[in-house]
Structure 1
Amino acid sequence: MAAAPGVRRSELGEALRACRGAFVGVGLMSFVINLLYLTGSIFMLEVYDRVLPSRSVPTLIGLIVIATGLYMAQGVLDLIRGRILGRIGTALDEALNARVFDTVVRLPLTLGTRSEGLQPLRDLDNIRSFLGSMGPSAFFDLPWLPLYLGICFAFHVAIGVTALVGAIVLVSLTLVTEYLSRQPARAAMGLAARRNDLAAASRRNAEVMVAMGMAARLNQRWGEANERYLAGHQNASDITGGLGAIAKVLRMMLQSAVLGVGAYLVIHQEATAGIIIAGSILSARALAPVDLAIAHWKSFVAARQSWERLNRLLEQIPERPKPHQLQAPASRLSVEGVGIAAPGDQRMIIQDVSFALTAGQGLGVIGSSGSGKSSLIRALVGVWQPFRGKVRLDGAALDQWSSDMLGRHIGYLPQDVELFSGTVAQNISRFDTSAKSEDIIAAAKEAGVHEMIIKMRDGYNTHVGEQGSALSAGQAQRVALARALYGDPFLIVLDEPNSNLDTEGDEALTRAVRAARERGAVVVVVAHRPIGIEGVDQILVVKDGRMQAFGPKEQVLAQVLQPRVAGPAPIKIVSDAGGKP
């Protein structure tokens, strides 16, 4: 990918430079291969100038044997060169796939809704696919074009000039292809991304689409997006395909022109008959890499755009340094003047929130919809970085931990529960391959879901399906609660954990919160209903992104729920449940 300037010190550039030994090998093979490409023209030259005049069959047989050996050597080297280039692409993927996957995971947490979804993975696939195609071979063969032109000049100046003019025309056509195809190719990529985003959103919300009669309208939107994509794709294909066809015709015309010039020279006894054929073969061979480069220009442009986009993204989201391993937190959670904005947005959602909790305490976070509760707890678990202020565990800010190490000490149940394809046991254990059965069962019992799980068809080995589709919403939420409790984490954060629970689930939730507090955990609960905060002893009231009240539960609830003196009737604080105090 040398065509992408300005990326010499990038992670992609470093990964590619690690393969420089392989590239040197490919370059040497290309040198030998291009020398072997002379076999056909020299063979024809010898046949016309030596074999036919002498009528020597042994000479003909000897030439055939030699040419066959050279052709076989050329084929083997060409095969090896292609495989090496394919393995360079694989090596690049192996070096970067973990880093790119980590970037995909961090994208929505860094850029929010402006993130590019799975595009980085597709970009890496584009680069690897291009390296494994015939495109790079054409670029390795292009530098040898002067060699063939030089031999054409050695045959005769007129043949050399004819081949040189053809080369200039085809190289100019390549530059025109680059200029004309860049913008259409970029536009087609953008339209493809928007179309894929619409398809993914429709798949996620299939139930809503069907239940509310939106399928036909969204199908129409998909049709419009697909039509725009097809038009953009067709435009890019027309440009590269049309210029490729022109290049092919010009190359055939050049070959005929060289034959014509050679015939003219033979008529005037300035060249032999063998030079006619040899010159024609050499001129065609000289311009074959240009023709091949034009044929693969579309994939080259796509790979170059992927290279630039992926390189820019990796620079924007640098690799996280490995922090020092800290002791497991065991005593205190403190929030110090925290201000929070959504990723990719400068608008503050939470401002100047400060509080502290010690081991064994439980905090209930209440407030109206849109007050910033969920944003606050995302900062508590390190999902969102505070715009200002710090969240600390035992005095250490969360950014001093790696996410893997921090995750061992945090249990998190988000508002929108997501389970991964796998078994119930795998989801509870957070896909820890070294997880012990007794630890998984202990977490399930603490969450009150052990009895529910063993009644499933395969018990803990029951597959939950993609995104937990094989479970009901209540079952998925309770399994996710067990996942949050797995490993006895110090900080447990539950965002509306009873939104899909029945009475039995509510009671199990309260018992789980109290049990976690008894073993010394800090528990933070955002709840729709009062029953969700039965197991806590502290209350934080959030209003318009600011801390309205914080303190012991009975004291704060008495303060915020007391009737106001003014007005014809008492006014009560409305919870997220839509009217329940």
Structure 2
Amino acid sequence: MAAQEGVPTSAGSELRAALGSCRSAVLGIAAFSGLINVLSLTGSLYMLEVYDRVLPGRSVSTLAGLTIIAALLFVFQGVLEVFRGRMLVRIGNQIDWRVGDRIYDLVVRLPLRSRGSGDGLQPVRDVDTIRSVISGLGLPALFDLPWLPFYLAICFAFHPLIGATALGGALVLVILTLLTDRLSRQSVQRASGYATARNRLAEASRRNAEVLIAMSMSSRFLARWRKLGDDHRRQQRIANDISGGFGVAGRILRMMLQSAVLGVGAYLVIQQEASGGIIIASSILTGRALAPVDLAIGNWKNFIAAFQSWQRLNGLMAALPVSAGKLPLPAPARSLVVDKLSVSAPASEKVLVADVSFHLKAGSGLGIVGASGSGKSSLVRALVGAWRPLRGVIRLDGASLDQWSADALGDHIGYLPQDVELFEGTIAENIARFAPDASMESVLAAASAAGIHQLIVSLPDGYNTEIGEQGAMLSAGQRQRVALARALFGNPFLVVLDEPNSNLDIEGEEALTRAILGVRARGGIVVIVAHRSSALVAVDFVMTMLHGRQQAFGPKEEVASLVARREAAPAAPFKVVVPQPAASP
């Protein structure tokens, strides 16, 4: 992952640093908010002057001058509000840009470091939520709230009774805000959880549409979809009812308070303690002072959602920090050593592979065999660096895998997983691993090594054939062979193939055998997991596994003989054969 320049790597600080990069813009918004709130006095002061100066003096020229000044101030206030809104949009985009690479990194690494029980795209949705709230209409209210005491002070300056009335209303609105937060926070959190579960179910159903339709399972999953939808809508309704109810209560209270201020002002005028202009000015001023509180209550549900998204992202970034920079190492060319390796699934304590050790030199081919669930696929996921070892170490030319950066290590590894996944794009792009600078010669070489060149050129658009999402335009066997070419692209030193012949015909298996021999001939190492013995023709070593443990390892003929003796005499103890590794050249 190529991090954006300047993005910090310390856990838990990346979002704060992204927001800190906008510090000058935030200060500018705060300054604009101050000017906007001062200019918001224009209407109140205009009415005060009209009632107390213009009307008693019957001066048209004074009225015209005040009107022109007020109009200019209103225009200036509008310009400032437009600029403030645009700056908030840009702050949201800046934060998105600053953490965008990290979000993609989290999406890619999260399935390899967790149980995969959550929504894999939740980090993307979280950063979208944060950006939309920052760019929305609710955040300016938070910048205006600190000016509430300023407005109340002016109300007290008009008359203590007017100030006390406005202060009482403000306290009630603050209490409403706190109640909104307390009562809606849990519902917003639950609604988010149900939305995540529903998205996960929808994605699983999309991937397995053929199974759902063919086996009449769609109606059963539809029932689960409905239940999740009902639960999600119920929690959303509760949160919206609370937020909307308190929002309406706040607006009604604000209107009542404005009328109350008018009534108090009228009383003060009757008592000859205030002028008529103060009645109108204080009413307008009170409404303006409490408007941010009203707006904040109405948007509180969004604020809670953004806060929860911020917490989730902080937690994920802390759990999956940016990898420290690694010094470049020479390309491996001599050996693969696995020493007392134990492997568990991400975020699991169950050991799937225990104490596996073997040593392969350049030009070797290893076939791993064993019953289903014996740990073969778990082992090869560790060999390619997808899963971290629980214990033990894997070394290429003496350097453990964690000494390599992910990009550097990937250049030296070719991997064909058991469940083949291709990406939307052309065949050439998939073979080239979407490297932007890949030469056509290297693509042709990988396709030829996989024995798929003739098949590709027989397609209408050849190497430029668009294969669609997940390679939907190709058959299962074609996808597997394209994925084999992708694994061979760039002549990687270690090529790991997990069930590479599961969808191949006889011609495909012959091409696979030639590909394995080709890797060995150029000095590479091949590790292949297979149930069908035809895939083991081109290897010289075999390892058997049972219940996650290495049962035998050695030259293919010796292990085959050992297995044959075991099957012929099941009562005899099964001796584990682990030859001493030869010295590395």
TM (norm. structure 2) is 0.95
Q: Equivalents in 1 of 2:530, 2:570: separation in Å?
A: 29
**Shift, 1:403, TM fit:** 0.8
Aligned twin of 1:386: 389
Counterpart secondary structure, 1:387: strand
Checking the alignment, whether the CA contact within 8 Å between 1:108 and 1:115 is kept in structure 2 is no
- Are 2:404 and 1:401 aligned? yes
Structure 1 residues 165 and 451: CA distance shift in structure 2, 3 A? same
Aligned twin of 2:7: none
Matching residue within 186, 191, 194 for 2:189: 186
Matching residue within 46, 50, 54 for 1:51: 54
**Shift, 1:248, TM fit:** 0.7
Checking the alignment, whether the CA contact within 8 Å between 1:341 and 1:347 is kept in structure 2 is yes
Aligned twin of 1:523: 526
Please tell me the residue identity of whatever aligns with 1:45: L
Checking the alignment, whether the CA contact within 8 Å between 2:88 and 2:134 is kept in structure 1 is yes
Structure 1 residues 36 and 425: CA distance shift in structure 2, 3 A? same
Q: Equivalents in 1 of 2:461, 2:181: separation in Å?
A: 58
Q: Equivalents in 1 of 2:518, 2:567: separation in Å?
A: 37
Checking the alignment, whether the CA contact within 8 Å between 2:126 and 2:309 is kept in structure 1 is yes
**Shift, 1:112, TM fit:** 2.5
Structure 1 residues 65 and 462: CA distance shift in structure 2, 3 A? same
Q: How far does the alpha carbon of each residue in 1:323-352 deviate from its partner, in whole angstroms, 9 at most, with x for none?
A: 111000001000000000111110101111
Please tell me the residue identity of whatever aligns with 2:269: V
**Shift, 1:220, TM fit:** 1.3
Structure 1 residues 535 and 359: CA distance shift in structure 2, 3 A? same
Q: How many matched pairs?
A: 563
Matching residue within 354, 357, 363 for 1:351: 354
Q: Equivalents in 2 of 1:331, 1:365: separation in Å?
A: 21
Aligned twin of 1:214: 217
- Are 2:101 and 1:63 aligned? no
Q: How far does the alpha carbon of each residue in 1:80-139 deviate from its partner, in whole angstroms, 9 at most, with x for none?
A: 111111111111111101011101111111112234411111111111111101222111
Please tell me the residue identity of whatever aligns with 2:520: R
**Shift, 1:253, TM fit:** 0.4
Q: How far does the alpha carbon of each residue in 1:21-71 deviate from its partner, in whole angstroms, 9 at most, with x for none?
A: 111111111111100000000011111111111221111111111111101
Counterpart secondary structure, 1:113: coil
- Are 2:553 and 1:550 aligned? yes
Q: Equivalents in 2 of 1:114, 1:213: separation in Å?
A: 25
| Aligned-CA RMSD value | 1.4
**Shift, 1:561, TM fit:** 2.4
Percent identity, please: 58
Q: Equivalents in 1 of 2:568, 2:19: separation in Å?
A: 73
Aligned twin of 2:108: 105
Aligned twin of 1:4: none
Aligned twin of 2:332: 329
Q: How far does the alpha carbon of each residue in 1:468-505 deviate from its partner, in whole angstroms, 9 at most, with x for none?
A: 11111111100000000000000000000000111110
**Shift, 1:18, TM fit:** 1.5
- Unpaired segments ≥5 residues, structure 1: 1-6, 572-581
Matching residue within 496, 499, 505 for 2:499: 496
Q: How far does the alpha carbon of each residue in 1:449-480 deviate from its partner, in whole angstroms, 9 at most, with x for none?
A: 10011111211111110111111111110000
Aligned twin of 2:581: none
1:237-248 to 2 correspondences below 5 Å: 237-248=240-251
**Shift, 1:567, TM fit:** 7.4
Q: Equivalents in 1 of 2:526, 2:12: separation in Å?
A: 45
Counterpart secondary structure, 1:523: strand
**Shift, 1:562, TM fit:** 3.1
Aligned twin of 2:312: 309
Checking the alignment, whether the CA contact within 8 Å between 1:412 and 1:492 is kept in structure 2 is yes
Aligned twin of 1:77: 80
Deviates more, 1:220-229 or 1:362-371: 220-229
Deviates more, 1:406-415 or 1:223-232: 223-232
Aligned twin of 1:578: none
- Are 2:430 and 1:427 aligned? yes
Q: Equivalents in 1 of 2:12, 2:45: separation in Å?
A: 45
Q: How far does the alpha carbon of each residue in 1:520-553 deviate from its partner, in whole angstroms, 9 at most, with x for none?
A: 1100011121111111111011111111111111
Structure 1 residues 547 and 62: CA distance shift in structure 2, 3 A? same
Matching residue within 510, 513, 516 for 1:513: 516
TM (norm. structure 1) is 0.95
Q: Equivalents in 2 of 1:323, 1:9: separation in Å?
A: 22
1:82-481 to 2 correspondences below 5 Å: 82-481=85-484
Q: 4+ residue runs of structure 1 moved beyond 6 angstroms?
A: none
